[in-house]
């Protein structure tokens, strides 16, 4: 999985000079199994996030297929209600927590430093720490599933059902403790992305020249910083309710609705946390495949930023059936409608960019087109459920299942798969098969619509969601069978994408540095990028540096004087990107892994005994001390 330095060919290359060798040596990740736990380079960690995220995605798809198997015919006996509850809960937990956020972060961690023209991120070890936290959390959740003790109260785990009285056993204990520490992974990545975007832009890349994808990741990171802490503390509170007899969400003294508020104060921004990076990917792909500057750079950036704000004012529309005051519901209906404005501005800017161009209709662009259609349908059903009276009727039915799959799969997964096709040549040095890619797109697109569109109808006919079976004679049989068969087509589409990615790894056409003639800096280095990202750091003079009028980036001035005998990056000012200082970076380290183990022990240990967190706290302190302790006079950063 680790990316090897690309200059291993036997042909002597005149450019393979002493400094390049020095850079390779300085930035190399040590080989070997145990050394694998010490890697910190951003390309390594980013790729691990992406690959691990897609492994969890496939597990989530398998869980979805199991559910559709059970629901294919009425009163099916493939599984009982206990197992079904675990599976639908784990499907949601997997897709939201173990796939969507980490994979978006993974793409960001891999691509952002390359787009900014720097050699790594500001806190490489923190990156690695975030990955280990995420991996440990994901493995723990799936161990619980294989032991048949997975959480079974939905990915939202509403008390009192999720409380100790109605969900005894370890399932919800896993949920509360693992969710509490898993989100540390997203938080550290967000802080690090903000610091990197602020301080590591290449000279000349002032804020108004930053690629739109970078803007979208910046907004995503800010949203994570404000949206995830309430979830962390809420799941800790639920854990304490369950394990220490506390009463935050009990019906006796606390309030179950408080959980809903805290959960959705995270949960709604979460939708935008995975949607906004997808918007950035769409802009990147549209710019490249129309070979034009984007129409309305400033309106698009402002739209992304305002979505970031408005996204925090929508959470109650998940709770319209919880019996809240009407005035509050009105407010949240209005803000739900308001977010259509910045979303619309972006769509019109994209249409204007596409207008009259002859876009190259390769696979990434097809997925963007698929996004348009699916997301607009999801938006329309969103307008419907945003109105309280309709939502009262549809809330617990398959209509809502159809709606949010249209929004999430259309809004995030399609652009993401497009983005994977788009950046695959950069990740691997090879192109994915275009022919297979186009076929795959149509299978996925048709499979998706055949699976989820009929669910609108099922919902309107009153079929409740989250129920493991239904009785014969309600008129739902045919559509359910149809949906289950269509789900197989959709899954086939995902498997074809996976096969394409795997086969192209060996058999794909060689990509070269910039196969799409794209405009941003990640395409200005070899594919895959060397461990140090760029041999020369070149000053940028436009928003589209690789297309700039003077003959492309090759003609641009070079930044000299960044040391190559130790890991070092250039720090620049936030607004204008003037060089300010050089920053030495730490190399490979085992401490991020040990700290992740200690953190996991601290929180998951609560399940066994409430004294274990105390021991864990001390272990964490020991690991942090090991982490920051200076080695051989090097700076601790």
Partner 1 sequence: MSVAHKTTPRTPHDIDVSQLPDYSFESRSPLWWGIVGLMTVEGTVVATLIASFFYLQGNHAVWPPSGTTPPDLMLPILSTFVLMLSMVPVYLTDRAFKRGNAKPLATLPILSIALALVFLGIKAYEYALHVDFRWDSHAYGSMVWLMIGFHSTHVIAVILKTLVVIILARQGYFTPDKRIAVTVNGLYWYFVAAAWIPLFMTIYLGSRIWNE
Select from 409, 403, 523, 504 the least CA-distant residue to 457: 403
H-helix or E-strand spanning residue 419: helix 414-428
CA distance 577 to 274: 28
User: Distance between CA 114 and CA 111 in Å, rounded?
Assistant: 5
At residue 64, what are phi and psi to the nearest 5 degrees? -65, -40
Cβ at position 534, least distance to partner 1 in Å: 6
For residue 36, the minimal CB distance to partner 1 (Å) is: 26
Find the shortest distance in angstroms from Cβ 316 to partner 1: 13
Closest separation between CB of residue 469 and partner 1, Å? 37
User: At which residue do the structure tokens 């540095």 appear?
Assistant: 513
CB of 565 to partner 1, least distance (A): 12
> Shortest distance, CB of residue 246 to partner 1, whole angstroms?
4
3-class secondary-structure state, position 209:
helix
Sign of CA dihedral 208, 213, 216, 222: negative
Is residue 377 a contact partner of residue 406, using CB atoms and an 8 Å limit?
yes
Q: b or e along 22-47 (b: 16 or more beta carbons within 10 Å of the residue's beta carbon)?
A: ebbebbbbeeeeeebbbbbbbbbbbb
CA 153 to chain centre: 24
Q: Which is nearer to partner 1, 65 or 243 (CB)?
A: 243
Element (H, E) at 568: strand 568-572
CB of 288 to partner 1, least distance (A): 17
Minimum Å distance from CB 582 to partner 1? 4
Question: How many Å apart are CA 595 and CA 593, to the nearest integer?
Answer: 5
Peptide bond preceding 528: is omega within 30 degrees of 0, i.e. cis?
yes
Q: Which is nearer to partner 1, 72 or 225 (CB)?
A: 225
Question: Which two three-digit tokens encode residue 498?
Answer: 């996976």
Report, in Å, the least distance between residue 249 CB and partner 1.
9
For partner 1, give the closer residue by CB, 444 or 514: 514
> Smallest Cα–Cα separation from 268: which of 214, 333, 317?
317
Between residues 287 and 524, which has the closer beta carbon with respect to partner 1?
Answer: 524
Q: Which CB atom, from 418 or from 528, has the smaller least distance to partner 1?
A: 528
Indicate the residue among 16 and 442 with the shorter CB distance to partner 1. 16
Read off the tokens for 368: 């963007």
Cis peptide before 101 (omega within 30 of 0): no
Distance CA 441, CA 358 (A): 20
CA neighbor of 164 nearest in space, from 88, 247, 95: 247
Nearer to partner 1, 396 or 513 (CB): 513
Q: What DSSP element (H or E) covers 580?
A: strand 579-584
- Residue (152 or 270) nearer to partner 1, CB: 270
Q: Which is nearer to partner 1, 250 or 393 (CB)?
A: 250
Provide the minimum distance between the beta carbon of 50 and partner 1 in the complex, in angstroms, as a whole number.
23
Q: Select 474 or 637, whichever has its Cβ closest to partner 1.
A: 637
Cβ closer to partner 1: 184 or 310? 184
CB of 199 to partner 1, least distance (A): 5
Alpha-carbon gap, residue 210 to 542, rounded angstroms = 9
CB of 405 or CB of 567, closer to partner 1: 567
What residues are paired with 584 via a beta bridge? 568
HEC readout, 331-345: HHHHHHHHCHHHHHH
Q: Which two tokens stand for residue 525?
A: 């280095």
- For residue 533, what are its two tokens? 């990202």
Residues near 208 by beta carbon (within 8 Å), at least 6 away in sequence: 543
CA distances 157 to 257, 452, 526, 605, Å, are 12, 24, 46, 20
Minimum distance of partner 1 from residue 97's CB (angstroms): 18
Q: Considering beta carbons, is residue 100 or 234 the nearer one to partner 1?
A: 234
Contacts 24+ apart (CB under 8 A), 515-519: 515/425, 515/431, 516/288, 516/289, 516/362, 516/422, 516/425, 517/288, 517/291, 517/546, 518/284, 518/287, 518/288, 518/546, 519/211, 519/287, 519/288, 519/544, 519/545, 519/546, 519/547
Closer to partner 1 by Cβ: residue 89 or 260: 260
- Which of 91/538 has CB closer to partner 1? 538
- For the bound state, the minimum distance from the C-beta of residue 132 to partner 1, rounded and expressed in Å, comes to 18
For the CB of residue 607, give the shortest distance to partner 1 in the complex, in Å: 18
Report the residue number, 129 or 367, with the smaller CB distance to partner 1.
129
Least distance CB 621 / partner 1 (angstroms): 5
- 295-316: b (≥16 Cβ within 10 Å) or e: bbbeebbebbbbbbebbebbbb
CB of 487 to partner 1, least distance (A): 38
């Amino acid at each position: 999985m680790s990316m090897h330095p690309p200059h291993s060919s036997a042909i002597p290359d005149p450019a393979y000079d002493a400094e390049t060798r020095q850079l390779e040596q300085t930035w190399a990740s040590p080989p070997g199994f145990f050394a694998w736990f010490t890697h910190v380079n951003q390309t390594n960690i980013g790729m691990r996030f992406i690959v691990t995220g897609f492994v969890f995605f496939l597990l989530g798809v398998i869980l979805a297929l199991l559910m559709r198997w059970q629901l294919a015919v009425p009163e099916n006996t493939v599984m009982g209600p206990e197992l079904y509850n675990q599976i639908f809960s784990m499907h949601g937990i997997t897709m939201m927590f173990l796939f969507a956020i980490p994979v978006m972060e993974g793409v960001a961690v891999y691509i952002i430093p390359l787009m900014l023209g720097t050699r790594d991120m500001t806190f490489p070890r923190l990156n690695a720490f975030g990955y280990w936290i995420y991996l440990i959390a994901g493995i723990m959740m799936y161990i619980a599933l294989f032991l048949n003790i997975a959480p079974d109260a939905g990915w939202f785990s509403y008390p009192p059902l999720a409380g100790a009285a109605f969900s005894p056993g370890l399932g919800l204990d896993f949920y509360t403790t693992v969710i509490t520490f898993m989100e540390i992974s997203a938080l550290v990545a967000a802080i690090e992305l903000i610091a990197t975007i602020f301080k590591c832009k290449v000279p000349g890349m002032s804020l108004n020249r930053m690629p739109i994808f970078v803007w979208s990741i910046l907004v995503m990171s800010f949203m994570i910083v404000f949206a995830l802490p309430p979830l962390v503390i809420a799941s800790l509170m639920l854990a304490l309710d369950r394990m220490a007899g506390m009463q935050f969400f009990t019906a006796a003294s606390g309030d179950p609705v408080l959980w809903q508020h805290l959960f959705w104060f995270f949960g709604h921004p979460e939708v935008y946390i995975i949607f906004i990076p997808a918007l950035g990917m769409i802009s990147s792909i549209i710019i490249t495949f129309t070979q034009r500057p984007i129409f309305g750079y400033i309106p698009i950036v402002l739209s992304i930023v305002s979505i970031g704000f408005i996204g925090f004012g929508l959470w109650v529309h998940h709770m319209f059936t919880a019996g809240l005051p009407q005035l509050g519901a009105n407010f949240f209906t209005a803000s739900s409608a308001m977010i259509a404005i910045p979303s619309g501005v972006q769509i019109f800017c994209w249409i204007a960019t596409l207008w009259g161009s002859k876009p190259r209709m390769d696979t990434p662009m097809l997925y963007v087109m698929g996004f348009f259609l699916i997301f607009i349908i999801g938006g329309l059903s969103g307008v419907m459920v945003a109105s309280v009276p309709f939502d009262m009727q549809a809330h617990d039915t398959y209509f809502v299942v159809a709606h949010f799959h249209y929004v999430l799969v259309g809004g995030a997964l399609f652009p993401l798969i497009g983005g994977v096709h788009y950046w695959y040549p950069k990740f691997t040095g090879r192109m994915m098969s275009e022919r297979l890619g186009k076929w795959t797109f149509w299978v996925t697109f048709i499979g998706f619509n055949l699976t989820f569109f009929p669910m609108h109808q099922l919902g309107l006919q009153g079929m409740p969601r989250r129920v493991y079976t239904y009785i014969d004679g309600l008129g739902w049989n045919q559509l359910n069978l149809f949906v289950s068969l269509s789900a197989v087509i959709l899954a086939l589409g995902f498997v074809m994408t996976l096969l394409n990615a795997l086969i192209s790894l060996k058999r794909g056409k060689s990509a070269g540095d910039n196969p799409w003639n794209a405009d941003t800096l990640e395409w200005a280095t070899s594919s895959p990028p060397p461990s140090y990202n760029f041999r020369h750091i070149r000053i940028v003079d436009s928003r589209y540096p690789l297309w700039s009028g003077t003959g492309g980036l090759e003609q641009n001035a070079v930044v000299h004087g960044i040391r190559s005998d130790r890991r070092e990056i250039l720090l620049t000012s936030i607004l204008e990107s003037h060089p300010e200082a050089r920053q030495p970076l730490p190399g490979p380290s085992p401490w991020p892994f040990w700290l992740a183990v200690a953190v996991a022990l601290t929180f998951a240990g609560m399940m066994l005994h409430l004294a274990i967190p105390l021991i864990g706290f001390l272990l964490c302190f020991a690991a942090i001390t090991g982490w920051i302790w200076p080695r051989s006079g090097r700076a601790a950063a």
